[in-house]
């Protein structure tokens, strides 16, 4: 038994004029904030003109935490109270992390009892959500100082592979920082948006992101401006830092340091190596002075030293493309992201592998933040949605089958995602205890003309008369396009749920064809829908009269009964004939004829009720 619709969703509120919103790249190593300034999206700088805020927080007893460069400086003297790479801790539990070698510098707090990996500091224990909130708060302050106003919303980027827990904690951190999250946006999608790739019709895009300590490759497929992540890969422990380490070893051997380096030596050489590596992105040869010696490194040497690391990044690209079932010749664009992609060796290797130059015009540190800023500006309503209509939207309507094999659209096509919409439905038959839900996709009115996505059942609905049960069906599409459908019987809270990826197996041609078919058949579909609705309504009337006859048949004399049965038979005939006018006329006739019967039944039930029988008992004695 399918669903019967009883309510319509409400209207949309109007948008006010000009509002402040920013994009935030909450990075493992560095974070940035950007906003639209005079028609162009730019990264906002702090009081000292710095665009990159190191994602480092130092906690001090009885004082405000230090965030950014100042904290990074302090990290060397006060590592226990200075938290770096909090992003790596998001979504993980204390049990998972407490024995990890990677986080050995921290002392985790066992006493919290909430399972969070909180770190003991001089200002009390701090979990990764709180640390992230401190970074976000600082970025919010920088933005408000620059923009001279109050932020109304932020778009925060997250890695494409972030799971629900990690995404939720990112949102929690924003909330804690007093920021309203308009949307979480995948980092690779943001980078593609910064390059304006969303305005293209379709294509496959590789986003190659090498940061300080993490490497991510994402393969995005773009269809009419809608991005979908086809595959991701990478290494959570590969980044610019590793290139620094090989250079440290190289400089140490030149300096004649053969034994294991002391902490002091290592720290000094690391600083020199990092600076040298950055210089090598601009020049062919670098000299550094270390304790009175002059050490050198040139581009050729550096290329030889970093060969293995570079090969690892290319292998990852190869794997990601294979996972998506594509060939590298099918990649239309390669976007370079992350400060470490400035290294010429890396750019050359990528260009050689793909046989085309990667996109590098936008500063790779800033590209994600800029994409987030563009998105924020659109979402807050400063830009005409036309220019962005097709970014991250639901390309085809999603709906549910209702009585008569009709489709009720719950999320119309072109709705921006993520989105959640609910509608209430009811049962069609008396005593109905199960309801089957059929999730469909498409623009047509009949189920048979749409794509079937999933079916599931809601059971254990308490038996009630038709139309008394309330079943709320909620459609939710997350930022990755994953659809969750839940059906809840509201009196008992009984719940059934299913998840599907509506875009699975759907190409841009299919979408186009489905849209065209719905236009071609618009008029015919409308007529069919009207007919089926009339049939469903008439069938309900027939069922109701039959049930009433069975229950209170003694209220009718033989003649009346025969007349009623005749009218019911005529209506059934009209239903079968598919003639909407006939259905309408026969329904009217039956309604007129049964009016007296209905009045008598009402009197009977009222007098029973007055004798002390409760209406519910009367109702539930029907069967």
* Interface with ligand ADP in residues 194-213 (CB under 6 A): 211-213
Among 45, 236, 274, 360, binds ligand ADP (CB under 6 A): 274
HEC per residue, 464-496: CCCCCCCEEEEEEECCCCCEEEEEEECCCCCEE
Q: How far is CA 541 from CA 41, 425, 571, 579, 590, in A?
A: 61, 18, 9, 17, 9
Other Cβ atoms closer than 10 A to 161: 15
187 classed as catalytic: yes
Catalytic residue among 46, 187, 480, 489: 187
Catalytic residue among 46, 72, 87, 430: 87
277 binds ligand ADP per the rule CB under 6 A: yes
Stretch that binds ligand ADP, among 27-35, 143-151, 312-320, 560-568 (CB under 6 A): 27-35
DSSP code per residue over 190-239: HHHHHTTGGGSSEEEEEEEEE-SS-EEEEEEEEETTEEEEEEEEEETT-S
240 binds ligand ADP per the rule CB under 6 A: yes
619 classed as catalytic: no
Smallest distance, Å, CB 281 to ligand ADP? 4
Catalytic residue among 209, 235, 392, 489: 209
Among ligand ADP, Mg ion, none, residue 140 binds (CB under 5-8 Å by kind) = none
Q: Which residues sit opposite 286 in a β-bridge?
A: 297
27 binds ligand ADP per the rule CB under 6 A: yes
DSSP code per residue over 227-276: EEEEEEEEETT-SHHHHHHHHHHHHHHHTT--SPPPHHHHHHHHHHHHHH
363 binds ligand ADP per the rule CB under 6 A: no
Among 200, 281, 474, 591, binds ligand ADP (CB under 6 A): 281
Stretch that binds ligand ADP, among 28-36, 296-304, 472-480, 584-592 (CB under 6 A): 28-36
54 binds ligand ADP per the rule CB under 6 A: no
Q: What is the DSSP letter of 410?
A: E
Among 278, 470, 521, 584, binds ligand ADP (CB under 6 A): 278
- Calculate the dihedral angle through the C-alpha atoms of 399, 418, 130, 135, rounding to the nearest 10 degrees: 180
Q: Residue 178 burial by CB count (10 A; 0-12/13-18/19+): exposed, middle or buried?
A: exposed
Smallest distance, Å, CB 93 to ligand ADP? 23
Closer of 211 and 502 to Mg ion (Cβ): 211
Binding residues vs Mg ion (CB under 5 A)? 27, 211
Among 121, 214, 313, 518, binds ligand ADP (CB under 6 A): 214
User: Pairing mode, if any, of strands 226-235 and 215-223?
Assistant: antiparallel
Q: Which residues sit opposite 422 in a β-bridge?
A: 474
Among 198, 235, 365, 430, binds ligand ADP (CB under 6 A): 365
Among 338, 371, 373, 502, binds ligand ADP (CB under 6 A): 338
340 binds ligand ADP per the rule CB under 6 A: yes
- Nearest 5 degrees, angle CA 230-CA 232-CA 235? 175
Catalytic residue among 25, 198, 242, 365: 25
Which residue is nearest to ligand ADP, using beta carbons? Answer: 240
Please answer whether residues 363 and 52 qualify as being in contact, where contact means their C-beta atoms are separated by less than 8 angstroms. Answer: no
Q: What is the DSSP letter of 44?
A: P
Q: How far is CA 425 from CA 2, 104, 472, 474, 500, in A?
A: 10, 54, 6, 11, 21
Among Mg ion, ligand ADP, none, residue 281 binds (CB under 5-8 Å by kind) = ligand ADP
Residues forming the site for ligand ADP (CB under 6 A): 27-30, 211-214, 239-241, 274, 277-278, 281, 338-340, 342-343, 365
Residues designated as active site? 25, 87, 187, 209
């Amino acid at each position: 038994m399918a669903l019967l619709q009883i309510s319509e969703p409400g209207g949309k509120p109007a948008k006010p004029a000009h509002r402040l919103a920013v994009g935030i790249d909450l990075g493992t190593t560095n974070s940035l904030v950007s906003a639209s300034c005079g028609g162009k999206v730019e990264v906002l700088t702090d009081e000292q003109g710095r665009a990159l805020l190191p994602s480092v927080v130092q906690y001090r007893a009885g004082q405000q935490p230090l965030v950014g460069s100042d904290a990074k400086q302090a990290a060397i003297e006060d590592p226990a109270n200075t938290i770096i790479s909090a992003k790596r801790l998001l979504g993980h539990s204390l049990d998972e992390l407490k024995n990890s070698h990677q986080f050995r510098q921290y002392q985790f707090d066992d006493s919290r009892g909430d399972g969070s990996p909180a770190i003991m500091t001089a200002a009390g224990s701090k979990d990764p959500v709180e640390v992230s909130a401190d970074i976000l708060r600082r970025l919010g302050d920088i933005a408000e100082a620059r923009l001279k106003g109050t932020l109304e919303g932020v778009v925060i980027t997250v890695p494409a592979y972030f799971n629900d827990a990690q995404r939720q904690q990112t949102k929690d951190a924003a909330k804690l920082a007093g920021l309203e999250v308009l949307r979480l946006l995948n980092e690779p999608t943001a980078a593609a948006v910064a390059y304006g790739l969303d305005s293209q019709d379709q294509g496959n895009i590789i986003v190659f992101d090498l940061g300080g300590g993490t490497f991510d490759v994402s393969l995005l497929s773009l269809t009419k401006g809608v991005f979908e992540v086809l595959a991701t890969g990478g290494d959570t422990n590969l980044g610019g830092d590793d290139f620094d380490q090989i250079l440290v070893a190289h400089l140490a051997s030149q300096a004649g340091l053969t034994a294991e380096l002391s902490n002091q030596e290592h720290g000094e050489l690391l600083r020199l190596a990092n600076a040298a590596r950055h210089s090598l992105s601009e020049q062919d040869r670098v000299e550094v002075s270390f304790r009175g010696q002059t050490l050198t490194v040139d581009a050729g040497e550096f290329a030889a030293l970093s060969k293995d690391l570079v090969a690892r990044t290319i292998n990852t690209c190869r794997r990601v493309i294979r996972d998506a079932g594509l060939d590298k010749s099918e990649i239309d664009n390669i976007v370079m992201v992350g400060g470490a992609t400035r290294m010429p060796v890396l750019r050359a290797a990528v260009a050689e592998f793909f046989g085309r130059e990667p996109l590098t015009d936008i500063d790779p540190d800033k590209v994600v933040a800029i994409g987030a800023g563009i998105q924020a500006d659109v979402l807050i309503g400063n830009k005409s949605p036309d220019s962005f209509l097709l970014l991250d939207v639901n390309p085809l309507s999603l709906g549910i089958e209702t009585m008569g094999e009709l489709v009720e659209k719950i999320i119309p096509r072109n709705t921006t995602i993520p989105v959640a919409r609910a509608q209430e439905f009811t049962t069609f038959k008396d005593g109905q205890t199960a309801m089957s839900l059929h999730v469909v996709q498409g623009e047509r009115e009949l189920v048979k003309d749409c794509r079937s996505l999933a079916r599931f059942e809601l059971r254990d609905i308490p038996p009630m008369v038709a139309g008394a049960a309330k079943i709320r069906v909620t459609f939710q599409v997350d930022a990755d396009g994953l659809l969750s459908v839940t059906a809840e019987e509201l009196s008992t809270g009984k719940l059934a749920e299913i998840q599907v990826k509506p875009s699975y197996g759907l190409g841009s041609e299919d979408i186009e064809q489905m849209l065209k078919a719905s236009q071609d058949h618009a008029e015919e579909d409308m007529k069919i829908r009207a007919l089926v609705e009339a049939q469903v309504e008439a069938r309900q009337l027939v069922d109701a009269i039959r049930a009433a006859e069975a229950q209170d048949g003694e209220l009718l004399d033989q003649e009346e009964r025969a007349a009623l049965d005749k009218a019911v038979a005529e209506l059934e005939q009209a239903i079968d004939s598919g003639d909407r006018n006939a259905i309408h006329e026969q329904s009217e006739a039956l309604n007129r004829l049964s009016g007296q019967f209905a009045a008598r039944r009402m009197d009977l039930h009222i007098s029973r009720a007055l004798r002390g029988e409760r209406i519910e008992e009367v109702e539930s004695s029907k069967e």
